[in-house]
Amino acid sequence: MHQLIESYIRAGFAGLYLVTHEEVRAERDLGTAAASLGYGLHTWSVTSGLLNVQSGAARRELTDPVEAVNAAADLPERTILVLKDFHQFLGDASQPASPLVTRSLKDRLRECRGGNKVILVTACLQRLPPELEKEFTVLTMPLPDAGVLRGLAGGLAESAALAADDASLDAAADAARGLTTPEAEDILALSVVRHRRLDPAFIADEKAKAIGKDGILELVQARASVQDVGGIDGLKEWISRRRNAFSREAAAFGLPPPKGILILGIPGTGKSLAARAVSSVLGVPLLKLDAGRLFGGLVGESEANLRKALQTAEAVSPCILWMDELEKGLSGARSSGMTDGGTSARVFGGMLSWMQDRTAPVFVVATANDVSQLPAELLRKGRFDELFFVDLPSAAEREAIWAIHVRRRGRDPGKLDLPTLAAMTENFTGAEIEQAVIDALYTCFDAGRDLDDFSLEDAIKATVPLSATMGDRLKELRQWARGRTRPASGSVRLESAGGRKGPDGSGGNGKGGVARKLAA
């Protein structure tokens, strides 16, 4: 990180804004950068005032933020002034920044450019009022890599006089990936205190809690196996062909890591379940992103939330980033920007460019119930490897789903007439079949008998499947999916509706990229 900061300072940038949760590491990096540039280093905080880091001279009384900014004028040339937590003086959604603060920053920054001085804000989140957006360059401090984490683990083992071999240090560091330095320190120390060793499983559990704290990302631990999913064989086959995609051997073979898939379909057909199964096939952690929670109330905060989430995913990688019910988070992105100042469009744009450019092996699994809510850019070629459409299960798929849920409730599917049950549940989703099993179990429990065909049939008869009430929407969805997506059930592509082809052989609707790719 210090090299990046140095390069900006060498290039003459006067205003830098460093987003980080790791003040200690940031200060250390800034010290290194200052030393190698031959610059002086001053820090300011609201509690300690102004401090010359190199000489130790302090002006403790200088606690006013405007005075702090203006102090830059009196500092010698070739100095970095670090303003700690200065986002707190830059306003928020409910209150704009003080004009005194913004104006003095602008004035001092202009002088700094001429005098080889740098004003560097450190803050845990990005918050820049419009007046200052062009004045500061925002840098995000990367999370510690495996090498740094291993160093932490090693230091801790040594100070606790633990015998830890290379393999166990590596395992501990690996389990801690995605944490900030202080989080990793705490968790590694906790592992030593509680278990007298660096326990990767414990570290991973604690990491899951730490990552989930802000409610945006969740490290999902309840995975599903492929056996838990009935039907959708095409999707299963596609993914199992890639089960070693993140291995060293695959990279050596010249395979680029797969980018991801979009699973589209009717609610209750097992899309979320399939996403969880994908993670166990690929054998990598599953991070669930709540797109709706990305949107913070403050200007710039949503973008910062996204950046942080993606940064965590990259640090944890190889992993799966699961965006469930994507349309809910992104529907605002289609809005003209009148409603939310264009925030959702910007966040969405950030997501798209990350999906396009990312180099870390993060496999995106997006699920969606409603395509009409999804912006067309998302479906363009290059974002996803494949778009899958999950339709209502076929008779054979329903039989498999019945068997799964009967077995899951500890009953023998062999004792039931599965073909009849499957035939009776045409147009049911997997979720509705599961619910019928549960309803029947209640009835049987109440009547004091075991699960049988009769009670299941009664439960079926009492159910009105969602598809019956969806009517036209279902038709539209299928129509849309035809020619654009690959059916999750089998390996054959749904034929283009009406067979109308564009000159390039695509569906002739401007979204030919994916269709063409799928046809290939």
Ligand X SMILES: Nc1ncnc2c1ncn2[C@@H]1O[C@H](COP(=O)(O)OP(=O)(O)O)[C@@H](O)[C@H]1O
Return the C-alpha torsion angle 11, 17, 18, 24, nearest 10. Answer: 100
- Type of residue numbered 372: S
Which residues of 302-428 form beta strands (DSSP E)? Answer: 319-323, 362-368, 386-390
- 104 makes contact with Mg ion (CB under 5 A): no
- 387 makes contact with ligand X (CB under 6 A): no
Residue showing tokens 């010290």: 31
Q: Dump the DSSP string for 386-414.
A: EEEEE-S--HHHHHHHHHHHHHHTT--GG
Among 272, 331, 429, 485, binds Mg ion (CB under 5 A): 272
- 230 makes contact with ligand X (CB under 6 A): yes
State the DSSP code for 258.
P
**How are beta strands 319-323 and 286-289 bridged, if at all?**
parallel
CB of 490 to ligand X, least distance (A): 14
Q: Name the residue nearer to ligand X (CB basis): 273 or 299.
A: 273
User: Residue 421 has which token pair?
Assistant: 């049950």
Residue 312 binds which entry of Mg ion, ligand X, none, CB below 5-8 Å type-dependent = none
Binding flags for ligand X, 112-151, as an x/- string (CB under 6 A): ----------------------------------------
- 270 makes contact with ligand X (CB under 6 A): yes
- 465 makes contact with ligand X (CB under 6 A): no
- 268 makes contact with ligand X (CB under 6 A): yes
The window from 13-21, 62-70, 353-361, 429-437 that contacts ligand X (CB under 6 A) reads 429-437
- 269 makes contact with ligand X (CB under 6 A): yes
Q: Do 53 and 31 touch, CB atoms closer than 8 A?
A: yes
CA 239 to chain centroid = 20
What 3-state class would DSSP assign to 354?
helix
Residue 510: is it exposed, middle or buried by C-beta count within 10 angstroms (0-12/13-18/19+)? exposed
Among 20, 79, 272, 506, binds ligand X (CB under 6 A): 272
Among 31, 96, 142, 267, binds ligand X (CB under 6 A): 267
Q: Name the residue nearer to ligand X (CB basis): 118 or 456.
A: 456
Contacts of 503 (CB under 8 A, 6+ apart): none
- 231 makes contact with ligand X (CB under 6 A): yes
- 329 makes contact with ligand X (CB under 6 A): no
CB of 286 to ligand X, least distance (A): 14
Taking the C-alpha atoms of residue 483 and residue 497, their distance in angstroms, rounded to an integer, is: 7
- 273 makes contact with ligand X (CB under 6 A): yes
- Type of residue numbered 159: S
What Å distances lie between residue 374 and 260, 311, 335, 469, CA to CA? 17, 24, 11, 22
Residue 502 binds which entry of ligand X, Mg ion, none, CB below 5-8 Å type-dependent = none
Number of residues located near ligand X, criterion CB under 6 A: 18
Q: Name the residue nearer to ligand X (CB basis): 91 or 430.
A: 430
Q: Which residue is nearest to ligand X (CB)?
A: 430
Chain contacts with ligand X (rule: CB under 6 A): 229-232, 265, 267-273, 367, 401, 404, 430-431, 434
Chain contacts with Mg ion (rule: CB under 5 A): 272
